[in-house]
Structure 1
Amino acid sequence: MHLTHLLHKAVQQQPRRPLTVYGARERTAGQVAERVAHLAGALREQGVQPGDRVCILAFNSDRYFEALMATWWLGGVVTLLNCRWSPREVADAVADVGSRCILVDDDCMPLIAGLETGPVIVHVGDGPAPAGTVGYEDLIAAGPAVDDVRADGDTLAALIYTGGTTGTAKAAMHSHRSLSTSILGSMGYARSSEPDGSTLVMAPLFHIAALLGMMAQALVGGTLVFANRFEPGEVLRLLGRHRVTTMTSTPGMLQLLHTHPDFPTADTTSISTIVYGAAPMPEAVLTRAMAAFPNAQFVQGYGMTETAVIASLLGIDHRVGGPRLKSAGRATLHAQIIIGDEAGHEVPRGTVGEILTRGDNIMLGYWNRPGETAAALRGGWLHTGDLAYMDDEGYLFIVDRAKDMIITGGENVYSTEVENAICHHPAVLRCAVIGVPDEQWGERVHAIIVPAPGRSVTIEAIRAHVKTSLSGFKAPRTIELVEALATTATGKVDKRALRHHHT
């Protein structure tokens, strides 16, 4: 299935129903399809050909959805860039994929300061197009409508950035088939979207969970309501104003919503399904959230960028006091999961091992990284690096994250990357970075530092230093000063012992 199928389906069955809502803008499926055809034609006139990469660096909006559809309409490859990256990280990613065109909103314009000349820059903001850019609405007005190429399922559709064991970003390659498989398989296993309902797109669309949640709702019919970014008060107003039925969230977002001063008077009765994931959910936080949204079915999703979501919980199993409240769910209809040992052989039920998975939802590989692709997909399975055990009925229970990845507020942070930045500070002799439990963020970045002799270290100085080279969310929120780091018998930093001290 090609990903523009959902737009053709909406035009055929609900041409006059609102498909996208953003602020005061509301457009029907028919209007959106017409704009997409003209935008695709305009991008083609700008030199974008089938297979070319089109970057999107923007916060959520109706135009983000149109840009996705238009790129696929002409056979291009969308490349989703993180709005929380630094200019250096953005420039590296654009160069990595050899982008022909980049769409940027007003808030993200400062992030393209480091770009070399080359890609066409399309301004997707509401004001006048800055010098050196092309106006989004001008493109649509002038572009000729072109036919949808209706890409083959195996055609590369998206490059979505994730992390790696070295801490540097790499792009997972997904085809039309892998993304479509994930959407359809997840919908068949859990009610992640409501037929003819509406979904609030509040998690960033440069993350795969928000992207697929949006597309699942569009596929079954209904309306996409866009929140430019997550602001709890505004989200609560949108939920009531548009009678939203489903939303995809992180644990931190849910906590900020139900603890907001406006929550007691907000109308959230229309919410039928809340899909959450992307970060650890403390049981106490989940219990409070389920009490705050009593009409909603809670569905937990387990997965990663490379898998486009591979497991979720049925609502009947996901209940306060239930034995599987802490479970990450069972394999969805389109995926196979086993718990494997170091050789990739399945271990007995109840034994901790690595989550291995395969199916048509799995990425094609990493862009321009054949060695890392071969390592991740060895033996015909995707090796996730996550440690878990499985019970006798196939439910997963995550026990640890290999590779020392930290997930804070739905963002992936790799400890080695932060450690490298901290160690460049002249007052730091040695450091280790770990994730520690945090009720709001799921995990927070915590640095354990051995100061250089005769030097003092403050959290303010460390955060400011890290932000000079990395995104702000990667800077440690807390630090701990020690005389020496715990090490294993081989002299390596013992992060398991460090984490144990904070649990």
Structure 2
Amino acid sequence: MSSKYFEYQLTVDNILETGVTTFPNREIVYRDIRRYTFSSFSDSVKRLLSGLKKNINIKQGDRIGVMDWDTDVYLHAYYSVPMSGAVLHTVNIRYPPELILKTVLQAEDKYLIVRDEFLPLVEKAANFIPVGMKIITYNDNKEKVKSSLPVIDFWELVDSNEPSEPENLNENMMATLFFTSGTTGEPKGVWFTHRKLVLHALGVSLVGGRPPLNLSTKDTYLILVPMFHVHSWGYPYVFMLNGVKYVLPGRYDYGLILKLMDREKVTFSAMVPTILYLLISHPDANKYSNVFKNWKVTIGGSALPEGLARKAQELGITVLCGYGLSETCPVITVSYYNSLVENDNDENKFYETITAGAPLPFVKIKIFDPITGKEKNRGEIGEVVVRSPWLTQEYYKDPEKTEALWKDGWLHTGDLGFIDDKGYLHIVDREKDAIKSGGEFIPSLLLEDVISLHPKVSQVAVVGVKDEKWGERPVAFIVPKGDLKEEELRSFLNDLANKGRIQKWWIPDRFIFINTMPLTSTNKIDKKALRDQIK
């Protein structure tokens, strides 16, 4: 018996088609430079798809690196490159030049899409890049970019072609590739298939509609997670599925971002804690009180200090947290209200929303003893391990690290945490950051959390330093607000210890006051750089 059954594929082009079919006139805005409807953006994406195939002969599996800020060009690449059957390599432009080159070579990129301001970096590396690598470049004004290298104009690839449809896509094809931020060693390559990207976007979309976010098609997103960083947490695909207006900020200028939020009526953003701090402490922030009152924010990348969360709450901002890592695509938990929390009092709800959160659909999380490998009980600290249909299956060309990543069939995060009695995950430290003092752990994230509550503390980071007697002891780096003395902090922490918030022996031996925190390429506080200051 014959059958004409069609095996529908979970591929990136179907995300685009879903958005265009149901929300054709919804807007995409890039700064004050360009605006698209979903329909005109789809047309432009498909014109680029034609240009990639016809003009430069891209083949299935070819790697295409992108060096850009959060622009409409980058958003084109998020769709056109996987739709061509090629692989999108999101290059970390905040890496040092030698590391950028290393990841481009390791990824085996055959093509680079390069914004004009990054072109000099590529030109300097001309003797090292592979012979035959094609450079596609552009600027915001759509003018031809001059270079010492042969270059292809991005806008010409779009404007000189008719739209075309993708062909022979399979959901198990590699779609994206990038390298971890390297905060715990050399960057490692992770890659994801079309299927994983689609399932991840569906999972993030589902929890976005749950309280307290309650996101709907009437919201406007401005995502402040760089597009080179873990798929910008999936939002370049999520917004299209959800049919919401999407605002692209380009290079981050916090004064301009506040203006964009006001002008475009932004209601939702995602970011690391540092970005939230920079926005609400910006000199112009007091002009945007009405914007903040309508603003919902998901925080990830690192723990949200309680003090910063309360400052945001005072401004009327709805804040909750998510958790994941490069290897997990990235989102695996979000601190939405589950049925055990939704009817609780406001203070208990607040504390659950600043945890790592509850699992997304199809995510399984367990806590293992990092030494014995046995599962821990509720409330007990151990290593967080996870299973989900969108996790990376391997480190790119690194079987040894892949074996450790997937030991016993669970993805090992390297994070220490526990699950509370309401099912919410709490991350207490990176296994490599945990401070081992006198045979016991001092969780640096929990210690940072209570220090952040002091009204004169703007930012805080706690690191461990070697100690002859105890093995390690904590040192706190503080960005103060106004005149802050060490004695005030010690007294404050002693009071919290007496109330049971922390243990007295956790109180840092030293407090170091600094003007600004060093940041990693993804705007997280760089604890390695802080440790180097006290060696």
Are the counterparts in 1 of residues 25 and 37 from structure 2 also a CA contact under 8 Å? Answer: yes
Are the counterparts in 2 of residues 4 and 150 from structure 1 also a CA contact under 8 Å? Answer: no
Q: Which residue of structure 1 lines up, in the alignment, with residue 414 of structure 2? A: 385
Distance 1:439 1:160 in 2: 32
Deviation at 1:366, TM superposition (A): 1.2
Q: Which residue of structure 2 lines up, in the alignment, with residue 235 of structure 1? A: 257
Change beyond 3 A, Cα 1:262–1:98 = same
Q: Which amino acid aligns with 1:49?
A: K
Distance 1:318 1:123 in 2: 54
Change beyond 3 A, Cα 1:215–1:291 = farther
Distance 1:57 1:233 in 2: 24
Are the counterparts in 2 of residues 209 and 248 from structure 1 also a CA contact under 8 Å? Answer: no
Q: Which residue of structure 1 lines up, in the alignment, with residue 145 of structure 2? A: 129
Deviation at 1:77, TM superposition (A): 0.9
Deviation at 1:209, TM superposition (A): 5.9
Change beyond 3 A, Cα 1:189–1:439 = farther
| Structure 1 segment 221-370 matched on structure 2, within 5 A | 221-266=243-288, 267-268=290-291, 271-292=294-315, 294=316, 296-307=317-328, 308-314=330-336, 316=342, 320=347, 322-342=350-370, 343-370=372-399
Deviation at 1:98, TM superposition (A): 0.9
Deviation at 1:163, TM superposition (A): 4.6
Deviation at 1:357, TM superposition (A): 0.1
Q: Which amino acid aligns with 2:50?
A: G
Q: Which residue of structure 2 lines up, in the alignment, with residue 159 of structure 1? A: 177
TM-score of the superposition, structure 2-length normalised?
0.74
Q: Give unmatched runs, 5+ long, in structure 2.
A: 1-9, 435-443, 446-462, 464-471, 481-513
Change beyond 3 A, Cα 1:436–1:32 = farther
Are the counterparts in 2 of residues 350 and 390 from structure 1 also a CA contact under 8 Å? Answer: yes
1:169 to 175, 187, 202: 187
Deviation at 1:19, TM superposition (A): 3.0
Cα-to-partner distance string for 1:90-110 (whole Å, 9 max, x where unaligned)? 111111111111111123223
Distance 2:205 2:266 in 1: 18
Deviation at 1:477, TM superposition (A): 5.6
Distance 1:481 1:274 in 2: 35
Q: Which residue of structure 1 lines up, in the alignment, with residue 57 of structure 2? A: 47
| Structure 1 segment 210-225 matched on structure 2, within 5 A | 210-225=232-247
Change beyond 3 A, Cα 1:261–1:151 = same
- Sequence identity (%): 26
Cα-to-partner distance string for 1:275-304 (whole Å, 9 max, x where unaligned)? 111122211111101222x1x432211100
Worse-matched range after superposition: 28-37 or 301-310: 28-37
Change beyond 3 A, Cα 1:19–1:164 = closer
Change beyond 3 A, Cα 1:81–1:125 = same
Change beyond 3 A, Cα 1:186–1:167 = same
Distance 2:72 2:346 in 1: 35
Deviation at 1:356, TM superposition (A): 0.3
Cα-to-partner distance string for 1:443-479 (whole Å, 9 max, x where unaligned)? xxxxxxxxxxxxxxxx9xxx9xx99xxxx97983685
Query: In the alignment, does 2:167 pair up with 1:149?
Result: yes
Are the counterparts in 2 of residues 53 and 101 from structure 1 also a CA contact under 8 Å? Answer: yes
Are the counterparts in 2 of residues 250 and 279 from structure 1 also a CA contact under 8 Å? Answer: yes
State the SS of the aligned residue for 2:303. Answer: coil
Are the counterparts in 2 of residues 19 and 27 from structure 1 also a CA contact under 8 Å? Answer: yes
Are the counterparts in 2 of residues 194 and 217 from structure 1 also a CA contact under 8 Å? Answer: no
Q: Which residue of structure 2 lines up, in the alignment, with residue 412 of structure 1? A: none
Change beyond 3 A, Cα 1:268–1:138 = same
Distance 1:438 1:103 in 2: 40
Deviation at 1:320, TM superposition (A): 4.9
Are the counterparts in 1 of residues 84 and 167 from structure 2 also a CA contact under 8 Å? Answer: yes
Are the counterparts in 1 of residues 30 and 250 from structure 2 also a CA contact under 8 Å? Answer: no
Deviation at 1:50, TM superposition (A): 1.3
Q: Give unmatched runs, 5+ long, in structure 1.
A: 408-414, 416-431, 441-458, 483-503
Q: Which amino acid aligns with 1:264?
A: N
Change beyond 3 A, Cα 1:319–1:474 = same
- Tell me the matched-pair count: 432
Deviation at 1:139, TM superposition (A): 1.3
Find the structure with the greater CA-based Rg: 2
Deviation at 1:177, TM superposition (A): 1.7
Change beyond 3 A, Cα 1:291–1:481 = closer
**What is the RMSD computed on CA atoms of the aligned residues?**
3.2
Deviation at 1:190, TM superposition (A): 3.7
Deviation at 1:265, TM superposition (A): 1.6
Q: Which residue of structure 2 lines up, in the alignment, with residue 486 of structure 1? A: none
State the SS of the aligned residue for 1:100. Answer: strand
Q: Which residue of structure 2 lines up, in the alignment, with residue 120 of structure 1? A: 134
Cα-to-partner distance string for 1:338-386 (whole Å, 9 max, x where unaligned)? 0011343311111111000001021121111111112101211100000
Are the counterparts in 2 of residues 123 and 130 from structure 1 also a CA contact under 8 Å? Answer: no
State the SS of the aligned residue for 1:107. Answer: helix
Change beyond 3 A, Cα 1:480–1:196 = closer
Distance 2:367 2:304 in 1: 22
Deviation at 1:3, TM superposition (A): 1.8
